[in-house]
Amino acid sequence: MEAEAGETDWTTLPGRLVVLSGASGAGKSTLVHRLLDRAGPRVRRSISATTRAPREGEVPGLDYDFVGPEEFEALRDDLLESAEVHGAWYGTPAGPVREALARGICVVLVIDVQGGFQVRRKVPNALLIFVQAPSLAALETRLRERGTDDDATIARRLANARREIEAAEGYDVQLVNDDLETCVDALVATLAGHLCGDGIDHD
Ligand SMILES: Nc1ncnc2c1ncn2[C@@H]1O[C@H](COP(=O)(O)OP(=O)(O)OP(=O)(O)O)[C@@H](O)[C@H]1O
Q: One digit per residue, pLDDT tens: the chain, 203 residues?
A: 445 655 788 888 889 999 999 999 999 999 999 999 998 888 999 999 999 999 888 899 988 999 999 999 999 999 999 999 878 999 999 999 999 999 999 999 999 999 999 999 999 999 999 999 999 999 999 999 999 899 999 999 999 999 899 999 999 999 999 999 999 999 999 998 877 544 455 55
Residue 137: phi, psi to the nearest 5? -65, -40
164 inside domain: yes
ipTM value of the model? Answer: 0.97
Q: Give the model's pLDDT for residue 170.
A: 95
16 inside domain: yes
Q: Whose CA is nearest to atom 2 of ligand 1?
A: 180
What residue numbers bound the domain in which 44 lies?
7-194
Q: Give the model's pLDDT for residue 164.
A: 92
Q: Give how many domains the chain has, as a whole number.
A: 1
Q: Give the model's pLDDT for residue 198.
A: 47
Q: Give the model's pLDDT for residue 1.
A: 45
First and final C-alpha spacing in the chain: 43
Distance between Cα 74 and ligand 1 center (Å): 33
201 inside domain: no
pTM for the model: 0.90
Query: For ligand 1, is residue 30 a contact (CB within 6 Å)?
Result: yes
121 inside domain: yes
3-state SS assignment for residue 114: helix
Q: Whose CA is nearest to atom 16 of ligand 1?
A: 27
Q: Give the model's pLDDT for residue 2.
A: 47
203 inside domain: no
Query: For ligand 1, is residue 194 a contact (CB within 6 Å)?
Result: no
Distance between Cα 29 and ligand 1 center (Å): 7
Type of residue found at 33: H
Q: Give the model's pLDDT for residue 135.
A: 96
Element (H or E) spanning 121, and its range?
helix 113-122
Element (H or E) spanning 50, and its range?
strand 48-50
202 inside domain: no
Going by C-alpha positions, the residue among 104, 159, 113 that lies closest to residue 136 is 159
106 inside domain: yes
Instruction: Provide the CA 24 distance to its chain's centre, in angstroms.
Output: 12
Distance between Cα 90 and ligand 1 center (Å): 21
Q: Give the model's pLDDT for residue 82.
A: 97
CATH code: domain of residue 97: 3.40.50.300
Query: For ligand 1, is residue 180 a contact (CB within 6 Å)?
Result: yes
Distance between Cα 82 and ligand 1 center (Å): 23
200 inside domain: no
